[in-house]
A and B are shown apart, each in its own frame.
Chain A
Amino acid sequence: MSNADTLTSPARRRGGGVGDLLLSELALLFRRRRTWALLGALALIPVLLAVAVRLSGSGGGPSFVGDIAGNGLFTGFAAITVAVPLFLPLTVGVVAGDTIAGEASLGTLRYLLITPAGRIRLLLVKFAVAAAFCLAAALTVVVAGLLIGLALFPVGPVTLLSGTEIPAIDAVGRALLIAVHVAISLVGLTAIGVFISTLTDVPVGAMAATVVLSITAQILGSLSQLSALHPYLFSAHWFGFGDLLRDPISWASFGDNVVLQLGYAVVFGSLAMGRFVTRDILS
Chain B
Amino acid sequence: MTSSGLAVETRGLTKRFGRHEAVSSLDLSVPTGSVFGFLGPNGSGKTTTIRMLLALAAPSAGTITVLGSEMPKRSASVLPRVGALVEGPGFYPFLSGAANLTRFDAAEPGTSSRTRSARVAEALARVGLSAAAAKKVGSYSLGMKQRLGIAVALLSPRDLIVLDEPTNGLDPQGTREVRSLIRGLNADGTTVLVSSHLLAEIEQLCTHAAVMRAGRLVAQGGLDELRGATAAIEIVTPDLDLAREVLARFGLDATADETSTGDSTPRLDAPLPDGVLPEDLVVELVAADVRVRGVAVRRPSLEDRFVELTGEGFDVER
A: residues with CB less than 8 A from B are 1-2, 4-5, 8-9, 11-17, 20-21, 23-24, 28, 31-33, 106-118, 121-122, 278, 280-282
**Within the complex, which residue of B84, B91, B106 is in contact with A24, where a contact is CB–CB below 8 Å?**
B106
**Within the complex, which residue of B90, B94, B109, B157 is in contact with A32, where a contact is CB–CB below 8 Å?**
B94
Q: Chain A contacts of B307 at CB under 8 A?
A: none
Task: Compute how far the CA of A23 lies from the CA of B106 in the bound complex, rounded to whole angstroms.
Answer: 9
Q: What's the minimum C-beta distance from B172 to chain A, rounded to whole angstroms?
A: 26
Q: Does B95 contact A (CB under 8 A)?
A: yes
Q: Is the CB–CB distance between A116 and B112 below 8 Å?
A: no
Q: Does B113 contact A (CB under 8 A)?
A: yes
Q: Does B291 contact A (CB under 8 A)?
A: no
Q: Is the CB–CB distance between B107 and A112 below 8 Å?
A: yes
**Within the complex, which residue of B90, B108, B113 is in contact with A107, where a contact is CB–CB below 8 Å?**
B90
Task: Compute how far the CA of A280 lies from the CA of B89 in the bound complex, rounded to whole angstroms.
Answer: 18
Q: Which of B73-81, B227-235, B274-282 lies at the interface?
A: B73-81
Q: Is the CB–CB distance between A24 and B102 below 8 Å?
A: yes
Q: Chain B contacts of A8 at CB under 8 A?
A: 81, 159
Q: Is the CB–CB distance between A280 and B58 below 8 Å?
A: yes
Q: Chain B contacts of A282 at CB under 8 A?
A: 51, 56-57
Which one of A13, A15, A20 has the greatest number of beta carbons of chain B within 10 Å? A20
Task: Compute how far the CA of A113 lies from the CA of B78 in the bound complex, rounded to whole angstroms.
Answer: 12
Task: Compute how far the CA of A107 lies from the CA of B86 in the bound complex, rounded to whole angstroms.
Answer: 9
Q: Is the CB–CB distance between B56 and A280 below 8 Å?
A: yes
Interface string of B50-81 (1 = CB under 8 A from A): 01001111100000000001000001110111
**Within the complex, which residue of A16, A28, A107, A281 is in contact with B109, where a contact is CB–CB below 8 Å?**
A16
14 A-B contact pairs sorted by A residue (CB < 8 Å)? A9-B157, A11-B112, A15-B109, A21-B109, A23-B106, A24-B106, A32-B94, A114-B86, A115-B107, A116-B75, A116-B79, A118-B109, A278-B58, A280-B57
Task: Compute how far the CA of A203 lies from the CA of B157 in the bound complex, rounded to whole angstroms.
Answer: 34
Q: Is the CB–CB distance between A28 and B103 below 8 Å?
A: yes
Task: Compute how far the CA of A106 lies from the CA of B92 in the bound complex, rounded to whole angstroms.
Answer: 7
Q: Is the CB–CB distance between A281 and B80 below 8 Å?
A: no
Task: Compute how far the CA of A282 lies from the CA of B47 in the bound complex, rounded to whole angstroms.
Answer: 10
Q: Is the CB–CB distance between A1 and B111 below 8 Å?
A: no
Q: What's the minimum C-beta distance from B52 to chain A, rounded to whole angstroms?
A: 9
Q: Chain B contacts of A107 at CB under 8 A?
A: 87-91
Q: Smallest CB-CB separation from B84: which chain A residue?
A: A114
In the complex, number of A-B residue pairs with CB atoms less than 8 Å apart: 114
Task: Compute how far the CA of A106 lies from the CA of B95 in the bound complex, rounded to whole angstroms.
Answer: 13
Q: Chain B contacts of A117 at CB under 8 A?
A: 107-109
Task: Compute how far the CA of A129 lies from the CA of B228 in the bound complex, rounded to whole angstroms.
Answer: 57
Task: Compute how far the CA of A14 lies from the CA of B55 in the bound complex, rounded to whole angstroms.
Answer: 22
Beyond A2-B77, A9-B156, A106-B93, 6 additional pairs, beta carbon < 8 A: A4-B1, A17-B109, A24-B107, A114-B83, A116-B75, A281-B57
**Within the complex, which residue of A4, A17, A115 is in contact with B104, where a contact is CB–CB below 8 Å?**
A115
Q: A24-B103, A116-B76, A281-B51 are in contact. Are A121 and B109 (CB under 8 A)?
A: yes
Q: What's the minimum C-beta distance from B74 to chain A, rounded to whole angstroms?
A: 8
Q: Is the CB–CB distance between A33 and B102 below 8 Å?
A: no
Q: Is the CB–CB distance between B106 and A113 below 8 Å?
A: no
Q: A11-B112, A16-B109 are in contact. Are A106 and B90 (CB under 8 A)?
A: yes
Q: Is the CB–CB distance between A16 and B103 below 8 Å?
A: no
Task: Compute how far the CA of A116 lies from the CA of B56 in the bound complex, rounded to whole angstroms.
Answer: 11
Q: Is the CB–CB distance between B107 and A21 below 8 Å?
A: yes
Which one of B86, B90, B111, B152 has the greatest number of beta carbons of chain A within 10 Å? B90
Q: Is the CB–CB distance between A114 and B109 below 8 Å?
A: no
Q: Chain A contacts of B102 at CB under 8 A?
A: 24
Q: Is the CB–CB distance between A20 and B77 below 8 Å?
A: no
